[in-house]
Structure 1
Amino acid sequence: MSKDLLFTAALNKGQALLPEMHQLAQHWHPGVTARELTQEALSTGYLGRATEARIRDVVAVFSRRFLRGQPQPAEYLHELAQHLPATGLFAEVCLLHTAVAHPELLVFLQEVYWPAHFAGRHNLPKEAAQDFLHEAQKMGRTGSSWSEGLTKRTARRLTGTLTEFGLLGAPDRQGLRPMRPFQPHPETVVYLAYWLRELNLDVPSLLAHPLWQVLGLRANDVLPALRRLALHNWLTVLTAGDLLRLEWNYPSTTALLHDLTQRSIHAVA
Protein backbone atom coordinates (compact mmCIF):
# COMPACT_ATOMS: atom_id res chain seq x y z
CA MET A 1 0.00 0.00 0.00
CA SER A 2 1.38 3.36 -1.00
CA LYS A 3 0.47 7.01 -0.89
CA ASP A 4 1.12 6.90 -4.65
CA LEU A 5 -2.16 5.03 -5.19
CA LEU A 6 -4.67 7.31 -6.89
CA PHE A 7 -7.54 8.76 -4.94
CA THR A 8 -11.03 7.90 -6.21
CA ALA A 9 -14.60 8.98 -5.55
CA ALA A 10 -15.62 5.44 -4.57
CA LEU A 11 -16.76 6.57 -1.12
CA ASN A 12 -19.72 8.16 -2.91
CA LYS A 13 -21.10 4.63 -3.28
CA GLY A 14 -21.16 4.17 0.48
CA GLN A 15 -19.51 5.45 3.62
CA ALA A 16 -18.89 3.05 6.52
CA LEU A 17 -22.09 1.04 5.86
CA LEU A 18 -21.44 -0.90 9.06
CA PRO A 19 -24.87 -2.60 9.38
CA GLU A 20 -24.73 -3.70 5.74
CA MET A 21 -21.10 -4.84 5.96
CA HIS A 22 -21.99 -6.82 9.10
CA GLN A 23 -24.87 -8.58 7.34
CA LEU A 24 -22.76 -9.40 4.30
CA ALA A 25 -19.88 -10.65 6.45
CA GLN A 26 -22.24 -13.02 8.24
CA HIS A 27 -23.58 -14.48 5.00
CA TRP A 28 -20.25 -14.63 3.16
CA HIS A 29 -18.05 -17.70 3.44
CA PRO A 30 -14.85 -18.72 1.65
CA GLY A 31 -15.38 -19.29 -2.04
CA VAL A 32 -18.45 -17.09 -2.36
CA THR A 33 -18.10 -14.50 -5.12
CA ALA A 34 -19.51 -11.00 -5.16
CA ARG A 35 -22.07 -12.09 -7.76
CA GLU A 36 -23.25 -14.97 -5.58
CA LEU A 37 -23.40 -12.69 -2.56
CA THR A 38 -25.55 -10.26 -4.53
CA GLN A 39 -27.94 -12.97 -5.67
CA GLU A 40 -28.39 -14.28 -2.14
CA ALA A 41 -29.03 -10.79 -0.78
CA LEU A 42 -31.60 -10.19 -3.51
CA SER A 43 -33.36 -13.53 -3.03
CA THR A 44 -33.48 -13.53 0.77
CA GLY A 45 -33.94 -9.82 1.43
CA TYR A 46 -31.58 -9.75 4.41
CA LEU A 47 -30.41 -6.27 3.39
CA GLY A 48 -33.92 -4.92 3.81
CA ARG A 49 -35.98 -3.03 1.27
CA ALA A 50 -33.07 -1.63 -0.72
CA THR A 51 -33.47 -1.55 -4.48
CA GLU A 52 -31.65 -4.07 -6.64
CA ALA A 53 -29.29 -1.33 -7.85
CA ARG A 54 -28.50 -0.31 -4.28
CA ILE A 55 -27.85 -3.88 -3.19
CA ARG A 56 -25.44 -4.30 -6.08
CA ASP A 57 -23.67 -1.11 -5.04
CA VAL A 58 -23.43 -2.27 -1.41
CA VAL A 59 -22.02 -5.65 -2.41
CA ALA A 60 -19.55 -3.87 -4.69
CA VAL A 61 -18.40 -1.84 -1.68
CA PHE A 62 -17.99 -5.04 0.36
CA SER A 63 -16.04 -6.63 -2.48
CA ARG A 64 -13.74 -3.63 -2.95
CA ARG A 65 -12.87 -3.49 0.74
CA PHE A 66 -12.87 -7.10 1.89
CA LEU A 67 -12.61 -9.51 -1.07
CA ARG A 68 -9.32 -8.29 -2.51
CA GLY A 69 -5.83 -9.45 -1.69
CA GLN A 70 -4.59 -12.54 0.08
CA PRO A 71 -5.59 -13.19 2.74
CA GLN A 72 -9.06 -11.80 2.11
CA PRO A 73 -10.21 -9.61 5.01
CA ALA A 74 -13.71 -11.06 4.58
CA GLU A 75 -12.48 -14.28 6.16
CA TYR A 76 -11.73 -12.44 9.39
CA LEU A 77 -14.84 -10.26 9.31
CA HIS A 78 -16.94 -13.40 8.90
CA GLU A 79 -15.45 -14.79 12.09
CA LEU A 80 -16.15 -11.55 13.94
CA ALA A 81 -19.66 -11.00 12.56
CA GLN A 82 -20.78 -14.42 13.74
CA HIS A 83 -20.16 -13.44 17.36
CA LEU A 84 -20.07 -9.63 17.60
CA PRO A 85 -22.32 -6.71 16.67
CA ALA A 86 -21.41 -4.10 14.07
CA THR A 87 -19.57 -1.99 16.67
CA GLY A 88 -16.34 -2.19 18.66
CA LEU A 89 -13.80 -4.62 17.27
CA PHE A 90 -15.83 -5.37 14.14
CA ALA A 91 -16.14 -1.68 13.28
CA GLU A 92 -12.45 -0.98 13.90
CA VAL A 93 -11.34 -3.88 11.69
CA CYS A 94 -13.67 -2.54 9.00
CA LEU A 95 -12.03 0.88 9.39
CA LEU A 96 -8.58 -0.59 8.79
CA HIS A 97 -9.55 -2.35 5.58
CA THR A 98 -11.67 0.56 4.37
CA ALA A 99 -8.53 2.70 4.64
CA VAL A 100 -6.62 0.11 2.58
CA ALA A 101 -9.30 0.17 -0.12
CA HIS A 102 -9.66 3.97 -0.20
CA PRO A 103 -6.27 5.73 -0.28
CA GLU A 104 -7.97 9.10 0.08
CA LEU A 105 -9.30 8.01 3.48
CA LEU A 106 -5.92 6.67 4.60
CA VAL A 107 -4.04 9.81 3.62
CA PHE A 108 -6.71 12.10 5.08
CA LEU A 109 -6.26 10.33 8.41
CA GLN A 110 -2.47 10.58 8.11
CA GLU A 111 -2.23 14.18 6.97
CA VAL A 112 -5.32 15.92 8.35
CA TYR A 113 -7.25 14.08 11.04
CA TRP A 114 -4.54 12.74 13.33
CA PRO A 115 -2.23 15.80 13.03
CA ALA A 116 -5.21 17.96 14.09
CA HIS A 117 -5.87 15.58 16.98
CA PHE A 118 -2.26 15.60 18.18
CA ALA A 119 -2.19 19.40 17.88
CA GLY A 120 -5.01 19.55 20.41
CA ARG A 121 -7.76 20.68 18.07
CA HIS A 122 -11.31 19.83 19.09
CA ASN A 123 -13.00 19.93 15.69
CA LEU A 124 -12.49 19.92 11.94
CA PRO A 125 -13.92 22.73 9.81
CA LYS A 126 -16.22 21.83 6.95
CA GLU A 127 -13.53 22.98 4.49
CA ALA A 128 -10.91 20.51 5.78
CA ALA A 129 -11.79 17.61 3.49
CA GLN A 130 -12.51 19.83 0.51
CA ASP A 131 -9.18 21.64 0.86
CA PHE A 132 -7.46 18.27 1.21
CA LEU A 133 -8.97 17.04 -2.07
CA HIS A 134 -8.15 20.29 -3.88
CA GLU A 135 -4.53 19.91 -2.82
CA ALA A 136 -4.58 16.25 -3.85
CA GLN A 137 -5.61 17.25 -7.35
CA LYS A 138 -2.78 19.77 -7.57
CA MET A 139 -0.35 17.01 -6.55
CA GLY A 140 -1.74 14.59 -9.14
CA ARG A 141 -3.16 12.20 -6.54
CA THR A 142 -6.52 11.97 -8.31
CA GLY A 143 -5.09 11.27 -11.75
CA SER A 144 -7.31 13.92 -13.36
CA SER A 145 -9.16 17.08 -12.46
CA TRP A 146 -12.45 16.62 -10.67
CA SER A 147 -15.43 18.89 -11.08
CA GLU A 148 -16.19 21.12 -8.11
CA GLY A 149 -19.41 19.20 -7.55
CA LEU A 150 -17.58 15.86 -7.41
CA THR A 151 -14.97 17.31 -5.07
CA LYS A 152 -17.63 18.62 -2.69
CA ARG A 153 -19.58 15.33 -2.69
CA THR A 154 -16.46 13.28 -2.06
CA ALA A 155 -15.36 15.65 0.72
CA ARG A 156 -18.73 15.19 2.44
CA ARG A 157 -18.45 11.43 2.08
CA LEU A 158 -14.92 11.48 3.47
CA THR A 159 -15.90 13.23 6.69
CA GLY A 160 -19.19 11.32 6.77
CA THR A 161 -17.27 8.05 6.70
CA LEU A 162 -15.22 9.10 9.72
CA THR A 163 -18.41 10.15 11.47
CA GLU A 164 -19.96 6.72 10.92
CA PHE A 165 -16.79 5.08 12.22
CA GLY A 166 -16.98 7.23 15.35
CA LEU A 167 -13.95 9.48 14.83
CA LEU A 168 -15.99 12.62 14.14
CA GLY A 169 -19.28 13.97 15.43
CA ALA A 170 -22.15 15.40 13.41
CA PRO A 171 -21.57 18.92 12.04
CA ASP A 172 -22.89 21.94 13.89
CA ARG A 173 -24.52 24.97 12.25
CA GLN A 174 -21.13 26.28 11.16
CA GLY A 175 -20.18 22.94 9.66
CA LEU A 176 -17.63 22.13 12.38
CA ARG A 177 -17.38 18.43 13.18
CA PRO A 178 -16.19 17.64 16.73
CA MET A 179 -13.29 15.23 16.98
CA ARG A 180 -14.40 12.36 19.17
CA PRO A 181 -12.04 10.62 21.61
CA PHE A 182 -10.81 7.46 19.93
CA GLN A 183 -8.86 4.67 21.61
CA PRO A 184 -8.68 1.43 19.64
CA HIS A 185 -9.42 -1.80 21.41
CA PRO A 186 -6.25 -3.76 22.28
CA GLU A 187 -7.85 -6.57 20.27
CA THR A 188 -7.87 -4.34 17.20
CA VAL A 189 -4.18 -3.56 17.65
CA VAL A 190 -3.26 -7.23 17.96
CA TYR A 191 -5.47 -8.06 14.97
CA LEU A 192 -3.53 -5.56 12.86
CA ALA A 193 -0.22 -7.02 14.03
CA TYR A 194 -1.33 -10.52 13.04
CA TRP A 195 -2.80 -9.35 9.72
CA LEU A 196 0.45 -7.59 8.79
CA ARG A 197 2.30 -10.76 9.72
CA GLU A 198 0.16 -12.60 7.14
CA LEU A 199 1.66 -10.26 4.52
CA ASN A 200 5.08 -11.80 5.26
CA LEU A 201 6.59 -8.49 6.35
CA ASP A 202 9.83 -8.41 8.28
CA VAL A 203 9.71 -6.84 11.74
CA PRO A 204 10.94 -3.34 10.73
CA SER A 205 8.42 -3.19 7.87
CA LEU A 206 5.62 -4.42 10.12
CA LEU A 207 6.38 -1.77 12.74
CA ALA A 208 6.58 1.00 10.12
CA HIS A 209 3.42 0.08 8.19
CA PRO A 210 1.13 3.08 7.50
CA LEU A 211 -1.97 1.26 8.72
CA TRP A 212 -0.91 1.84 12.33
CA GLN A 213 -1.61 5.50 11.71
CA VAL A 214 -5.28 4.70 11.03
CA LEU A 215 -5.52 3.75 14.72
CA GLY A 216 -3.70 6.90 15.80
CA LEU A 217 -0.41 5.14 16.50
CA ARG A 218 2.67 7.09 15.48
CA ALA A 219 5.95 5.37 14.61
CA ASN A 220 7.27 5.57 18.17
CA ASP A 221 3.99 4.24 19.57
CA VAL A 222 3.89 0.89 17.81
CA LEU A 223 6.54 -1.08 19.67
CA PRO A 224 5.32 0.04 23.13
CA ALA A 225 1.80 -0.94 22.05
CA LEU A 226 3.03 -4.40 21.07
CA ARG A 227 4.82 -4.75 24.41
CA ARG A 228 1.51 -4.05 26.15
CA LEU A 229 -0.18 -6.68 24.01
CA ALA A 230 2.39 -9.19 25.21
CA LEU A 231 0.84 -8.90 28.67
CA HIS A 232 -2.27 -10.60 27.25
CA ASN A 233 -0.17 -13.53 25.94
CA TRP A 234 -1.21 -12.75 22.36
CA LEU A 235 2.40 -12.40 21.20
CA THR A 236 5.91 -12.08 22.62
CA VAL A 237 8.37 -9.25 22.03
CA LEU A 238 11.99 -10.33 22.38
CA THR A 239 14.92 -7.93 22.37
CA ALA A 240 18.64 -8.47 22.68
CA GLY A 241 20.75 -5.38 22.09
CA ASP A 242 19.69 -4.01 18.71
CA LEU A 243 17.93 -7.23 17.76
CA LEU A 244 14.13 -7.36 17.90
CA ARG A 245 12.00 -10.42 17.33
CA LEU A 246 8.27 -11.05 17.50
CA GLU A 247 6.94 -14.46 18.43
CA TRP A 248 3.31 -15.22 17.63
CA ASN A 249 1.31 -17.20 20.16
CA TYR A 250 -1.37 -18.18 17.64
CA PRO A 251 -0.70 -20.03 14.38
CA SER A 252 -2.97 -17.74 12.34
CA THR A 253 -5.13 -14.64 12.46
CA THR A 254 -8.23 -16.84 12.32
CA ALA A 255 -7.11 -18.72 15.43
CA LEU A 256 -6.47 -15.44 17.22
CA LEU A 257 -9.92 -14.07 16.35
CA HIS A 258 -11.64 -17.28 17.36
CA ASP A 259 -10.08 -16.99 20.80
CA LEU A 260 -10.80 -13.26 21.07
CA THR A 261 -14.48 -13.66 20.25
CA GLN A 262 -14.88 -16.55 22.68
CA ARG A 263 -13.16 -15.09 25.72
CA SER A 264 -13.64 -11.36 25.17
CA ILE A 265 -17.05 -11.12 23.53
CA HIS A 266 -18.37 -8.43 25.89
CA ALA A 267 -15.16 -6.40 25.95
CA VAL A 268 -14.88 -6.00 22.18
CA ALA A 269 -18.52 -5.43 21.26
Structure 2
Amino acid sequence: MTTTSYSSMLNAGIGMIDATRTMLNLWQPGMSGVDLYKAALESGLFPNITARRLQNFIKECFGPRYLVNKGGPSKILKTIESTFSSREFNQLLFIYTCRESRILNDFVRDVYWGAYSSGRETISNEDALLFVIRANQDGKTVKPWSEITLSKVAGYLTASCADFGLLENGQRSIRKILPFRIESRLGILLAYDLHFSGHGDNSVLSHSDWGLFGLDRSDVLNELKQLALKGWFIIQSAGDVTRIGWQYQSMEEVIDALNKR
Protein backbone atom coordinates (compact mmCIF):
# COMPACT_ATOMS: atom_id res chain seq x y z
CA MET A 1 0.00 0.00 0.00
CA THR A 2 1.55 3.30 -1.09
CA THR A 3 1.65 6.26 1.24
CA THR A 4 -0.96 8.97 0.57
CA SER A 5 1.47 11.89 0.10
CA TYR A 6 4.61 12.20 -1.98
CA SER A 7 7.88 11.84 -0.08
CA SER A 8 11.39 13.02 -0.97
CA MET A 9 13.07 10.07 0.79
CA LEU A 10 13.80 7.95 -2.29
CA ASN A 11 17.47 8.93 -2.14
CA ALA A 12 18.11 6.64 0.84
CA GLY A 13 17.75 3.60 -1.42
CA ILE A 14 19.48 4.77 -4.60
CA GLY A 15 22.41 2.55 -5.57
CA MET A 16 21.74 0.26 -2.61
CA ILE A 17 20.50 -2.97 -4.20
CA ASP A 18 23.66 -4.86 -3.23
CA ALA A 19 23.39 -3.42 0.28
CA THR A 20 19.77 -4.61 0.38
CA ARG A 21 20.88 -8.16 -0.38
CA THR A 22 23.50 -7.99 2.36
CA MET A 23 20.98 -6.55 4.81
CA LEU A 24 18.52 -9.34 4.04
CA ASN A 25 21.17 -11.91 4.93
CA LEU A 26 21.62 -10.18 8.30
CA TRP A 27 17.92 -9.80 9.04
CA GLN A 28 16.12 -12.51 10.97
CA PRO A 29 12.37 -12.77 11.66
CA GLY A 30 11.44 -10.67 14.68
CA MET A 31 14.25 -8.16 14.19
CA SER A 32 13.24 -4.50 14.39
CA GLY A 33 14.91 -1.74 12.42
CA VAL A 34 16.94 -0.83 15.50
CA ASP A 35 18.04 -4.44 15.96
CA LEU A 36 19.04 -4.63 12.31
CA TYR A 37 21.05 -1.41 12.51
CA LYS A 38 23.01 -2.74 15.47
CA ALA A 39 23.65 -6.03 13.69
CA ALA A 40 24.75 -4.19 10.54
CA LEU A 41 27.21 -2.02 12.47
CA GLU A 42 28.67 -5.01 14.28
CA SER A 43 28.92 -7.13 11.12
CA GLY A 44 31.57 -5.03 9.40
CA LEU A 45 29.86 -5.79 6.09
CA PHE A 46 29.33 -2.14 5.15
CA PRO A 47 32.84 -0.61 5.29
CA ASN A 48 32.10 1.98 2.60
CA ILE A 49 28.85 3.25 4.15
CA THR A 50 28.92 5.72 7.03
CA ALA A 51 26.99 4.89 10.19
CA ARG A 52 24.65 7.80 9.50
CA ARG A 53 23.86 6.69 5.95
CA LEU A 54 23.40 3.12 7.15
CA GLN A 55 20.90 4.31 9.74
CA ASN A 56 19.06 6.40 7.15
CA PHE A 57 19.03 3.46 4.75
CA ILE A 58 17.29 1.23 7.29
CA LYS A 59 14.94 3.94 8.59
CA GLU A 60 13.91 5.50 5.27
CA CYS A 61 14.36 2.64 2.80
CA PHE A 62 14.77 -0.91 4.07
CA GLY A 63 12.31 -0.64 6.95
CA PRO A 64 9.35 0.99 5.14
CA ARG A 65 9.77 -1.24 2.09
CA TYR A 66 10.71 -4.64 3.47
CA LEU A 67 9.92 -4.76 7.20
CA VAL A 68 6.22 -3.89 6.94
CA ASN A 69 3.56 -6.53 7.66
CA LYS A 70 5.73 -8.18 10.30
CA GLY A 71 8.64 -8.45 7.90
CA GLY A 72 6.60 -10.25 5.25
CA PRO A 73 8.49 -8.81 2.26
CA SER A 74 11.87 -9.66 3.81
CA LYS A 75 10.76 -13.23 4.50
CA ILE A 76 9.84 -13.71 0.85
CA LEU A 77 12.98 -12.00 -0.43
CA LYS A 78 15.22 -14.16 1.75
CA THR A 79 13.64 -17.37 0.47
CA ILE A 80 14.08 -16.50 -3.22
CA GLU A 81 17.39 -14.63 -3.05
CA SER A 82 19.58 -17.63 -3.94
CA THR A 83 17.36 -19.14 -6.64
CA PHE A 84 15.90 -16.16 -8.50
CA SER A 85 17.92 -14.29 -11.13
CA SER A 86 19.08 -10.75 -10.40
CA ARG A 87 16.43 -9.44 -12.77
CA GLU A 88 13.65 -11.38 -11.02
CA PHE A 89 14.89 -10.39 -7.57
CA ASN A 90 15.20 -6.72 -8.53
CA GLN A 91 11.68 -6.71 -9.97
CA LEU A 92 10.33 -7.86 -6.62
CA LEU A 93 12.31 -5.11 -4.90
CA PHE A 94 10.74 -2.73 -7.41
CA ILE A 95 7.20 -3.85 -6.52
CA TYR A 96 7.80 -3.43 -2.79
CA THR A 97 9.41 -0.03 -3.37
CA CYS A 98 6.49 1.24 -5.45
CA ARG A 99 4.00 -0.04 -2.90
CA GLU A 100 5.72 2.17 -0.33
CA SER A 101 6.55 5.16 -2.55
CA ARG A 102 3.56 6.79 -4.17
CA ILE A 103 5.70 9.29 -6.06
CA LEU A 104 7.76 6.58 -7.78
CA ASN A 105 4.62 4.53 -8.36
CA ASP A 106 2.91 7.41 -10.16
CA PHE A 107 6.06 8.43 -12.03
CA VAL A 108 6.48 4.96 -13.49
CA ARG A 109 2.85 4.81 -14.61
CA ASP A 110 2.52 8.37 -15.89
CA VAL A 111 5.95 9.27 -17.22
CA TYR A 112 7.83 6.03 -17.95
CA TRP A 113 4.97 4.08 -19.50
CA GLY A 114 3.61 7.21 -21.14
CA ALA A 115 6.96 7.77 -22.84
CA TYR A 116 7.38 4.08 -23.67
CA SER A 117 3.94 3.74 -25.27
CA SER A 118 4.42 6.89 -27.35
CA GLY A 119 7.64 5.53 -28.83
CA ARG A 120 10.09 7.84 -27.10
CA GLU A 121 13.65 6.59 -26.63
CA THR A 122 14.70 8.65 -23.59
CA ILE A 123 13.47 10.21 -20.36
CA SER A 124 15.28 13.19 -18.89
CA ASN A 125 15.58 14.74 -15.48
CA GLU A 126 13.67 17.64 -17.02
CA ASP A 127 10.73 15.30 -17.69
CA ALA A 128 10.91 14.16 -14.07
CA LEU A 129 11.15 17.76 -12.87
CA LEU A 130 7.97 18.74 -14.73
CA PHE A 131 6.20 15.76 -13.12
CA VAL A 132 7.38 16.77 -9.64
CA ILE A 133 6.47 20.44 -10.17
CA ARG A 134 2.92 19.47 -11.22
CA ALA A 135 2.61 17.19 -8.20
CA ASN A 136 3.78 19.99 -5.94
CA GLN A 137 1.27 22.39 -7.46
CA ASP A 138 -1.51 19.80 -7.13
CA GLY A 139 -0.88 19.48 -3.39
CA LYS A 140 0.42 15.91 -3.48
CA THR A 141 3.26 16.77 -1.11
CA VAL A 142 2.72 17.36 2.61
CA LYS A 143 4.07 20.89 2.19
CA PRO A 144 5.39 22.85 -0.81
CA TRP A 145 8.91 21.81 -1.85
CA SER A 146 11.69 24.28 -2.57
CA GLU A 147 13.25 24.49 -6.03
CA ILE A 148 16.29 22.60 -4.72
CA THR A 149 14.12 19.78 -3.37
CA LEU A 150 12.12 19.63 -6.61
CA SER A 151 15.32 19.24 -8.62
CA LYS A 152 16.76 16.63 -6.26
CA VAL A 153 13.60 14.52 -6.25
CA ALA A 154 13.49 14.60 -10.06
CA GLY A 155 16.98 13.10 -10.06
CA TYR A 156 15.98 10.54 -7.44
CA LEU A 157 13.12 9.34 -9.65
CA THR A 158 15.22 8.72 -12.74
CA ALA A 159 18.04 7.17 -10.68
CA SER A 160 15.57 4.83 -8.98
CA CYS A 161 14.19 3.76 -12.35
CA ALA A 162 17.75 3.07 -13.49
CA ASP A 163 18.41 0.95 -10.38
CA PHE A 164 15.43 -1.25 -11.20
CA GLY A 165 16.16 -1.60 -14.90
CA LEU A 166 13.60 0.73 -16.46
CA LEU A 167 16.17 3.31 -17.55
CA GLU A 168 19.83 3.32 -18.53
CA ASN A 169 22.23 3.40 -15.60
CA GLY A 170 25.03 5.88 -14.89
CA GLN A 171 25.41 9.53 -13.97
CA ARG A 172 23.42 11.33 -16.65
CA SER A 173 20.54 13.76 -17.02
CA ILE A 174 19.03 12.02 -20.06
CA ARG A 175 18.60 8.24 -19.92
CA LYS A 176 17.62 5.69 -22.54
CA ILE A 177 14.37 3.85 -21.94
CA LEU A 178 15.02 0.13 -21.52
CA PRO A 179 12.53 -2.66 -22.29
CA PHE A 180 10.86 -3.68 -19.05
CA ARG A 181 8.73 -6.81 -18.98
CA ILE A 182 7.60 -8.73 -15.92
CA GLU A 183 9.44 -12.03 -15.54
CA SER A 184 7.24 -15.15 -15.56
CA ARG A 185 8.14 -16.25 -12.03
CA LEU A 186 7.42 -12.73 -10.80
CA GLY A 187 4.00 -12.87 -12.42
CA ILE A 188 3.26 -16.10 -10.55
CA LEU A 189 4.57 -14.71 -7.28
CA LEU A 190 2.63 -11.45 -7.63
CA ALA A 191 -0.64 -13.17 -8.51
CA TYR A 192 -0.42 -15.46 -5.50
CA ASP A 193 0.70 -12.63 -3.24
CA LEU A 194 -2.41 -10.65 -4.17
CA HIS A 195 -4.60 -13.74 -3.77
CA PHE A 196 -3.28 -14.52 -0.28
CA SER A 197 -3.64 -10.84 0.64
CA GLY A 198 -7.40 -11.26 0.30
CA HIS A 199 -8.11 -10.07 -3.24
CA GLY A 200 -10.82 -11.82 -5.21
CA ASP A 201 -10.00 -13.29 -8.61
CA ASN A 202 -11.15 -10.29 -10.65
CA SER A 203 -9.50 -7.91 -8.20
CA VAL A 204 -6.22 -9.77 -8.68
CA LEU A 205 -6.46 -9.26 -12.44
CA SER A 206 -7.14 -5.52 -12.16
CA HIS A 207 -4.78 -4.73 -9.27
CA SER A 208 -2.66 -1.61 -9.70
CA ASP A 209 0.63 -3.49 -9.14
CA TRP A 210 0.43 -4.90 -12.66
CA GLY A 211 0.37 -1.38 -14.05
CA LEU A 212 3.95 -0.95 -12.86
CA PHE A 213 4.86 -3.32 -15.70
CA GLY A 214 2.59 -1.62 -18.22
CA LEU A 215 -0.08 -4.32 -17.97
CA ASP A 216 -3.84 -3.76 -17.97
CA ARG A 217 -6.47 -6.32 -16.99
CA SER A 218 -6.59 -8.04 -20.38
CA ASP A 219 -2.78 -8.23 -20.48
CA VAL A 220 -2.72 -9.84 -17.03
CA LEU A 221 -5.38 -12.36 -18.01
CA ASN A 222 -3.35 -13.35 -21.07
CA GLU A 223 -0.20 -13.69 -18.94
CA LEU A 224 -1.97 -15.92 -16.43
CA LYS A 225 -3.51 -18.03 -19.20
CA GLN A 226 -0.01 -18.75 -20.50
CA LEU A 227 1.16 -19.64 -17.00
CA ALA A 228 -1.91 -21.84 -16.55
CA LEU A 229 -0.62 -24.01 -19.40
CA LYS A 230 2.30 -24.86 -17.13
CA GLY A 231 0.04 -25.80 -14.23
CA TRP A 232 0.30 -22.72 -12.02
CA PHE A 233 -3.41 -21.85 -12.24
CA ILE A 234 -6.67 -23.00 -13.74
CA ILE A 235 -8.34 -20.14 -15.62
CA GLN A 236 -12.05 -20.07 -16.45
CA SER A 237 -13.11 -16.90 -18.24
CA ALA A 238 -16.51 -15.87 -19.60
CA GLY A 239 -17.11 -12.28 -20.63
CA ASP A 240 -15.97 -9.92 -17.90
CA VAL A 241 -15.94 -12.60 -15.22
CA THR A 242 -12.89 -14.76 -14.60
CA ARG A 243 -12.44 -17.52 -12.06
CA ILE A 244 -8.97 -18.65 -11.08
CA GLY A 245 -8.23 -22.05 -9.63
CA TRP A 246 -5.33 -21.55 -7.25
CA GLN A 247 -3.08 -24.61 -7.17
CA TYR A 248 -1.22 -23.79 -3.95
CA GLN A 249 -2.57 -23.20 -0.45
CA SER A 250 0.12 -20.90 0.97
CA MET A 251 2.86 -18.53 -0.10
CA GLU A 252 5.41 -20.99 1.27
CA GLU A 253 4.11 -23.67 -1.11
CA VAL A 254 4.30 -21.27 -4.05
CA ILE A 255 7.86 -20.21 -3.30
CA ASP A 256 8.95 -23.81 -2.76
CA ALA A 257 7.53 -24.74 -6.17
CA LEU A 258 9.13 -21.71 -7.84
CA ASN A 259 12.51 -22.47 -6.29
CA LYS A 260 12.41 -26.00 -7.70
CA ARG A 261 11.82 -24.88 -11.30
Pick the TM interval, shorter chain.
over 0.9
Find the counterpart in structure 2 of residue 109 from structure 1.
Answer: 108
Find the counterpart in structure 2 of residue 202 from structure 1.
Answer: 200
Find the counterpart in structure 2 of residue 68 from structure 1.
Answer: 68
Structure 2 residue corresponding to 1:219, chosen from 206, 217, 223: 217
Structure 1 residue corresponding to 2:175, chosen from 170, 174, 177: 177
Shift of 1:234: 1.5
C-alpha distance in structure 1 between counterparts of 2:251 and 2:141, whole Å: 34
Percent sequence identity over aligned pairs: 29
C-alpha distance in structure 1 between counterparts of 2:15 and 2:247, whole Å: 32
Shift of 1:107: 0.3
Shift of 1:242: 5.3
Find the counterpart in structure 2 of residue 266 from structure 1.
Answer: none
**2:81 counterpart letter in structure 1:** A
Structure 2 residue corresponding to 1:251, chosen from 237, 249, 252: 249
Q: Secondary structure at the match of 1:142?
A: coil
C-alpha distance in structure 2 between counterparts of 1:165 and 1:101, whole Å: 15
Q: TM-score, normalised by structure 2?
A: 0.92
Give the 4+ runs in structure 1 shifted more than 6 A. none
Q: Secondary structure at the match of 2:244?
A: strand
Find the counterpart in structure 2 of residue 262 from structure 1.
Answer: 260
Find the counterpart in structure 2 of residue 23 from structure 1.
Answer: 22
Residue correspondence of structure 1 range 27-176 to structure 2 within 5 A: 27-60=26-59, 61-69=61-69, 72-84=72-84, 87-170=86-169, 175-176=173-174
C-alpha distance in structure 2 between counterparts of 1:91 and 1:172, whole Å: 20
**2:76 counterpart letter in structure 1:** Y
1:238 aligns with 2:248: no
C-alpha distance in structure 2 between counterparts of 1:242 and 1:145, whole Å: 43
C-alpha distance in structure 2 between counterparts of 1:170 and 1:76, whole Å: 27
Aligned residues: 260
C-alpha distance in structure 2 between counterparts of 1:207 and 1:164, whole Å: 27
C-alpha distance in structure 2 between counterparts of 1:142 and 1:242, whole Å: 37
CA contact (8 A) 2:29 2:71 kept: no
C-alpha distance in structure 2 between counterparts of 1:62 and 1:36, whole Å: 13
C-alpha distance in structure 2 between counterparts of 1:161 and 1:29, whole Å: 26
Cα displacement string for residues 155-205 of structure 1 (whole angstroms, at most 9, x for unaligned residues): 1011000011111014797x3210011222101111111111122011222
C-alpha distance in structure 2 between counterparts of 1:129 and 1:240, whole Å: 41
**2:154 counterpart letter in structure 1:** A
**2:141 counterpart letter in structure 1:** T
Gaps of 5+ in 2: none
Q: Secondary structure at the match of 1:229?
A: helix
Gaps of 5+ in 1: 264-269
Cα displacement string for residues 116-137 of structure 1 (whole angstroms, at most 9, x for unaligned residues): 1011111113211110010001
Cα displacement string for residues 218-245 of structure 1 (whole angstroms, at most 9, x for unaligned residues): 2321111111111221222123565421
Pick closer, same or farther for the CA change 1:71–1:229 going to 2, 3 Å.
farther
